């Protein structure tokens, strides 16, 4: 009985938590979208936009929310160029602690930077300075190798995609040339399982937003099509469950940025790492199990006490009956209730 009660409590509580969690993240996205003017936002088309008053004001507000909201891993805005049918970054809420290289393709994306004298990768919001593997949907397992010596380099499969040329200032050598603060974007293709995959490498400077305004938004085609449809149909949305995107498994909330006519022209995206939800489920399950054990122990003790209380008069009566059956007619029994 206690096991069934535990399961019922766990499932009900988890459902309530996840629903409240999702609603809150969507409300964050809606609040940000409500204070952005779509006509202004669509003009954030290049790095120089960072210096404009409007960008600085939007960034200040979004960054403050990002810094203070627990469990949110990323907040950024996109605008849709309707002539090109392409998505571009508007305002990225993060403020980089290191010069960073973004390695992006439609199937796998991550960032790289120097940390404690080691070349470090951030994938799925986990820092790594040694080899690891990624399970790519529809493809399989992909090995990403981080070489720390003799030269610091990153390999995807067997292909070297970058080698560190200088650590300070940070610059790397790619298949398409030097990537640094002056040359901020490089593109090339590499073998990828049984085909080829296009990669874009971009540079972001320490102290600046993670993504330059006007830079390409790169993700899985299904995800890009989903975002474009949300903008076109003016629909806010939040994922039911974490889904695999090029940067890992994320639960995302989307709220539409509108122009002066009320038409959708962009979107605010709030990303939550799925591990945070899994961690909560694990912690809550542990609490429920501990409470169930405590309840079971207390119930057992109470049952024993009650059993003793109710069976004592019966024992007294049984003893008296036995004495009577033995011919002891002077036997008396006092039953207290």
Indicate if 107 and 81 belong to the same structural domain: no
273 assigned to some structural domain: yes
Does residue 134 register a pLDDT over 60? yes
Residue bearing the bigger pLDDT, 194 or 255: 255
175 assigned to some structural domain: yes
335 assigned to some structural domain: no
Task: Provide the pLDDT for residue 293.
Answer: 80
CATH number at residue 240: 3.30.450.20
Indicate if 88 and 168 belong to the same structural domain: no
User: Is residue 184 left, alpha or beta, with left meaning phi > 0 and alpha meaning psi from -120 to 50?
Assistant: alpha
Q: 93: closest CA among 55, 62, 61?
A: 62
333 assigned to some structural domain: no
Segment (H or E) for 13: helix 2-34
Indicate if 320 and 224 belong to the same structural domain: yes
Across 59-182, the runs of DSSP E, i.e. the strands, are 72-81, 86-92, 100-104, 109-115, 118-123, 126-128, 132-136, 140-147, 153-156, 159-166, 171-174, 177-179
Indicate if 199 and 218 belong to the same structural domain: no
Question: Which residues pair with residue 74 across a beta bridge?
Answer: 271
DSSP assignment of 285-307 equals: HHHHHHHHHHHHHHHHHHHHHHH
Write down the pTM of the prediction.
0.80
Indicate if 77 and 136 belong to the same structural domain: no
Domain count, the chain: 2
233 assigned to some structural domain: yes
Q: Name the percent of the chain lying above pLDDT 90.
A: 66
**Residue range 31-90, pLDDT digits in tens:** 999 999 999 999 999 999 999 999 999 999 999 999 998 888 899 999 999 999 999 999
51 assigned to some structural domain: yes
CA-to-CA separations, 335 to 7, 271, 289, 304, 329, in angstroms, rounded: 43, 69, 41, 20, 18
Task: Provide the pLDDT for residue 252.
Answer: 94
**Residue range 218-275, pLDDT digits in tens:** 999 999 999 999 999 999 999 988 888 888 888 999 999 999 999 999 999 999 876 6
User: What is the domain range of residue 130?
Assistant: 96-207
Task: Provide the pLDDT for residue 84.
Answer: 95
132 assigned to some structural domain: yes
Place of tokens 């940070």: 170
Indicate if 194 and 296 belong to the same structural domain: no
Supply the mean pLDDT for the chain.
88
**In the numeric block, which tokens belong to residue 206?**
């320490």
Indicate if 237 and 198 belong to the same structural domain: no
Indicate if 154 and 252 belong to the same structural domain: no
Indicate if 2 and 134 belong to the same structural domain: no
């Amino acid at each position: 009985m206690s096991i069934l009660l535990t399961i019922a409590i766990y499932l009900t509580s988890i459902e309530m938590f996840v629903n409240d969690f999702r609603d809150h993240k969507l409300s964050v996205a809606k609040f940000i979208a409500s204070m952005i003017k779509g006509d202004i936002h669509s003009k954030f088309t290049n790095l120089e936009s960072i210096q404009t008053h409007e960008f600085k004001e939007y960034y200040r507000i979004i960054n403050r929310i990002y810094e203070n909201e627990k469990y949110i891993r990323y907040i950024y805005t996109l605008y849709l160029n309707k002539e090109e049918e392409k998505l571009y970054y508007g305002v990225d809420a993060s403020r980089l602690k290191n010069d960073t290289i973004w390695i992006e393709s439609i199937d796998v994306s991550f960032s790289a930077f120097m940390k404690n004298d080691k070349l470090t990768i951030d994938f799925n919001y986990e820092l790594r300075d040694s080899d690891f593997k990624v399970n790519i949907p529809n493809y399989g397992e992909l090995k990403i190798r981080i070489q720390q010596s003799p030269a610091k380099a990153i390999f995807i499969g067997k292909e070297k995609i970058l080698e560190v040329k200088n650590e300070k200032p940070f610059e790397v050598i790619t298949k398409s040339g030097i990537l640094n603060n002056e040359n901020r974007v490089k593109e090339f293709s590499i073998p990828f399982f049984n085909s080829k995959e296009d990669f874009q490498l971009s540079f972001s400077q320490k102290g600046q937003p993670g993504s330059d305004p006007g830079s390409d938004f790169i993700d899985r085609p299904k995800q890009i099509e989903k975002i474009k449809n949300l903008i076109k149909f003016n629909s806010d949305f939040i994922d039911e469950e974490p889904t695999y995107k090029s940067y890992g498994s994320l639960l995302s909330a989307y709220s539409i940025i509108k122009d002066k006519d009320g038409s959708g022209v962009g979107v605010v995206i709030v990303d939550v790492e799925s591990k945070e939800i899994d961690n909560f489920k694990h912690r809550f399950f542990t609490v429920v199990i501990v409470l169930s054990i405590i309840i079971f122990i207390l119930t057992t003790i109470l049952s024993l006490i009650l059993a003793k209380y109710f069976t004592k008069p019966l024992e007294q009566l049984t003893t008296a009956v036995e004495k009577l059956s033995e011919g002891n007619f002077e036997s008396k029994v006092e039953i207290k209730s």
